[in-house]
Each structure stands twice: as C-alpha cells, then as structure tokens.
Structure 1
Amino acid sequence: MPYLSRIRINPLRARSRLLLTSPRAMHAAVQGSLPGLPQEERTLWRLDADNAHRPQLLVVTASRPDWTHLVEQAGWPGADGEHYAVRDYSPLLRQIEAGRTFAFRLTANPVQNTRRPDKLTPRQAQHLEAGQSRGFRLGHRTAKAQLNWFLTRAPRWGMEVPLAPHLEETSASDEERPRDIRIVARSRRTFGKADLTGKEMQVVLNAVTFEGRMRVTDPVLLGERLLAGIGPAKAYGCGLLTLAPVPEQAGGGE
C-alpha cells in the first residue's frame, strides 16, 4: 500500500540547515524512516520551500514510514500541532480517470541525452577515451528548454497540459498558444558523491519546479509515474509529481 507523507521542517535547527542544503543528507533521512534496508524500497521526495520559514517535505513510500526521528532532529518535538501526516495514497490513485483535470506540481531534473557534448568535462573526456560511455546526460539550462522538455514528454506520462485559461481569441494554432504551466523555482544543486570505486565525484543537477493544470489521458501511465517518479535524480529530491483537484472538481484531494 503506497503512502504520501508531509513533514514540517524547522529551518532554524542545525540539523535542518544540513538537510535543506544537502540532497544526500535529506535522502539518507528519508530512507531512515523505513524499517527495511535502503535497497529494499525506493522512495520519492520533494522539498517545498515556498515559505522559507515553514518548509515542508513530501514523500511517497511503498510502506508506512515513521517520521519521529526526523521531527526530533529537524522539527518541533514537544510543540503543539501536527508535525507530520501520513496518508494512504490509494484514494487519490482511484480518482485518476481519463479526461479528468488536476492541478499539479513537479520538481524534476530536465535532461537530454547526447553522444557527443559540445564541451566535455574532464570526467566525460576520460570516459569517452576509455570507451566507457555510449552517451552523456546533459541538463537543460534555459527555462524555454525546460518547459519544452515537460510538454513534449507529458504524453508519455499519461497526461496533457491544456491551453492557458482566459486567452483572447487569436488566429494562432494550438501548438503556438500558451499552455497552463509555469516554472515557479529553478536551482542548481552541486554536491559530492562516492562512485563505485569509492572516489569522490561531483554531482551537478538543475532542479526545476513546474506548476499548472493537467488532463489525464492514460490513467495507467499516470498512476505509474505518481509512484515511480519522473526523470532522473529521484534520490536527490526530483521526480515527485503531486496532484490536487481543481476548484470545479473539489470533491477529492491529494
């Protein structure tokens, strides 16, 4: 049974400052909420820091987690209020029907694959010389390219982004008119990670948060993406897609 959790983070605590700035540390804290071994269950997580004073961590897990340790280290242990919530994700999955519209949010790492980058990093050049790579994964850096990445791949995820509402009548084709999607946050995350040989390597990713409206085209594909995530860097806070009912469909919830 899948679960969706929401955890309040206290940004003033020393441990919180590490978690908020280090995707590796946050990944370890998320995995620590589950009783099994890390390799036994993959998780999806996203940090929503729209309000810097009250950031929230959202997590999707296959089994029920316990966030007590995270509240003790990075929350408000002993204070009033709900420090975290864990809810069965199945009711939302059952609401996904072809043609239904939802509001969405996704933090992703938009990338493209190429066999020969215009400018090789020292590590890429080393791999190419050794014949160790059949291609390279490069991040999209401009907002236009990042939006195009989302829109061109949305059908593979079982959804489409409708036209932006309240548009004046124009002679432009649907392909040229704005879609109901926007980028609300962009950040470049850089951190160290040990490779298979134990050598420290630098990881760089462009995390982009998209918001807007989407229409379900394939409930099965969309359900898979809600549970398995979208794009690379899932261990580092990318890939978690969440849905919420639009006002005219307020009968359900996230």
Structure 2
Amino acid sequence: MNAWLTQITLNHRHRRSHELAADANLLHRELMRLAPDDLGETPRSAAGLLYRMEESRTGLRILAQTRTRPRVDRLSDGLANDVTSRDLTPLLTGLRPGAYVRYRIAANPTQRVGDPKADPRRKGKLTVVTGERGDLWWLTRATANGLHPLSLTQTRLSDTRAGMVAHAVTRFDGLAIITDTALLRDAVLTGIGRAKSYGCGLLSLGPARKPE
C-alpha cells in the first residue's frame, strides 16, 4: 500500500521545462527517473507512476505519484525550482467508510460509441465525452471505485500531447463520501481511466467536513 507524492515546481528558465510541458512523452520519461530501473515490460505500471500538471502561483507544478520512494536526485539538473515528497501511507490507511473527502482528478473521459446495427463484435469508435455525458462518465467511475460524489465541477483543460497524438483532459473536483475503502485505495494507487502515461488518472483526496 506504499505510495509517495512528489511535488515538482518547474524552473521556467530551464531549457527543457517548456519541452516537457509541451510533450507528454518527454515528461513521462523524465518522471520515470523517480523510479528504479529495470522494472520489466510495463515499467510505468510497475512504478505506479501517475502525474498531473497544475498551474500555481509559483509557476507550472507537477504532482507525481510513485509506489516506490522517489529518487528526486535523478531529475535533470536545474529542472525544478522546488521538489518536495511525502509519504501517502497515513492518507491511505486513514480512509474510512462514511468519511467526507475533497477529490480532484484530471482524467481522459472517453467511451466507445458504435452503430447498434453494425457488427456487435466491433468495439466502436473511442469518443471524448463532455458536459452531462462527461459528468456521468466521472460519476459512474467514482461510484465503481468507492467514492460517492456529493458535488461536481467539470473543467475542460488543454489537451496533453504525446508527439503528434493529443489526449483530451478534463478535471473533476468536488466533495464526496467514501463508500468502499479497499476500492478507493486501489483507485488512488492505480489511477482511473485512460492516458495514465500522459498526465491523466491521478486521484487526489483530502479530508473534508460534513456539509451543513
């Protein structure tokens, strides 16, 4: 159940910071430096790497989560103005059914849409969902992962680009009640949805009071 969250504030004067912000493939490779080498055929999954980019008062910030203690000394020299890490074990072990939490996730909300008259064996076209369909996408996945949202704010973000491929990103924020701690811990550790290698899927939780 071990996990660590590393907060990296990029140095905008560093020559690579803009390249990393513009190309998720490059950023993914940079963040994998936090994890050990030789992790097999699926290194991101083995490392448990999930990350999210956010704008802050001090500049562009990256939140990176790993299942092993992060090796922050391996990040490119001068890339970050500030790097801090914290152990998420107290958060994960402290989750309780019925507790109120604030949540945030930047996700890639997609579903397959096909012609019902076509061959049922075909999966259909992968389509980005927004608006009410986007809300339903998140509510369905949150519920399936031990979280019952009481409020929901949907914010469309800029696409994340991996080479020539763009992945849609939508941020969901709100208040929720924990319904299943085992499912929720697994969701925090493994992420939710697609494009996990490209800045999507990291679920962040924080304690909250019962609404009045």
TM-score interval for Structure 1 and Structure 2 normalised by the shorter chain: 0.7 to 0.9
2:194 is the alignment partner of 1:223: no
Query: Who is 1:96 aligned against?
Result: 95
1:138 to 104, 111, 126: 126
Q: Secondary structure at the match of 1:239?
A: coil
1:186 deviation in Å? 2.0
The one-letter code of the counterpart of 1:47 is: M
What RMSD over aligned residues (CA atoms) do the two structures have, in Å?
2.4
List per-residue Cα deviations over 1:103-133 (Å, max 9, x = no partner): 111000001023459xxxxxxxxxxxxx9x9
2:73 is the alignment partner of 1:68: yes
Query: Who is 1:45 aligned against?
Result: 51
TM-score between both structures, scaled by the size of structure 2: 0.85
1:33 deviation in Å? 1.7
Residue 19 of structure 2 contacts residue 26 of structure 2 at CA under 8 Å; is this kept in 1?
Answer: yes
1:247 deviation in Å? 5.0
2: distance between equivalents of 1:139 and 1:24?
Answer: 22
2:57 is the alignment partner of 1:57: no
The structure-2 alpha-carbon separation of the partners of 1:235 and 1:12, relative to structure 1 and needing over 3 Å to count, comes to same
List per-residue Cα deviations over 1:193-223 (Å, max 9, x = no partner): xxxxxxxxx4332111111111101111000
1: distance between equivalents of 2:138 and 2:197?
Answer: 20
Taking the TM superposition and a 5 Å limit, the aligned residue runs for 1:198-209 are 202-209=164-171
Residue 102 of structure 1 contacts residue 244 of structure 1 at CA under 8 Å; is this kept in 2?
Answer: yes
Runs of at least 5 residues in structure 1 that lack an aligned partner in the other structure: 77-82, 118-130, 163-179, 193-201, 250-254
Residue 48 of structure 1 contacts residue 57 of structure 1 at CA under 8 Å; is this kept in 2?
Answer: yes
Residue 111 of structure 1 contacts residue 137 of structure 1 at CA under 8 Å; is this kept in 2?
Answer: no
1:151 deviation in Å? 1.3
1:23 deviation in Å? 0.9
The structure-2 alpha-carbon separation of the partners of 1:135 and 1:73, relative to structure 1 and needing over 3 Å to count, comes to farther
Q: Secondary structure at the match of 1:68?
A: helix
The structure-2 alpha-carbon separation of the partners of 1:247 and 1:98, relative to structure 1 and needing over 3 Å to count, comes to closer
Runs of at least 5 residues in structure 2 that lack an aligned partner in the other structure: none
Taking the TM superposition and a 5 Å limit, the aligned residue runs for 1:144-183 are 144-162=132-150, 180-183=151-154
Aligned residues: 202
Residue 113 of structure 2 contacts residue 127 of structure 2 at CA under 8 Å; is this kept in 1?
Answer: no
List per-residue Cα deviations over 1:14-65 (Å, max 9, x = no partner): 21001111111110011112222252423111111254x5221111111111
Q: Secondary structure at the match of 1:149?
A: helix
Query: Who is 1:242 aligned against?
Result: 204
Q: Which has the higher strand share?
A: 2
Larger Rg: 1
The structure-2 alpha-carbon separation of the partners of 1:190 and 1:139, relative to structure 1 and needing over 3 Å to count, comes to farther
1: distance between equivalents of 2:76 and 2:155?
Answer: 27
TM-score between both structures, scaled by the size of structure 1: 0.72
1: distance between equivalents of 2:156 and 2:11?
Answer: 21
Residue 101 of structure 2 contacts residue 206 of structure 2 at CA under 8 Å; is this kept in 1?
Answer: yes
Residue 100 of structure 2 contacts residue 209 of structure 2 at CA under 8 Å; is this kept in 1?
Answer: no
2: distance between equivalents of 1:203 and 1:221?
Answer: 31
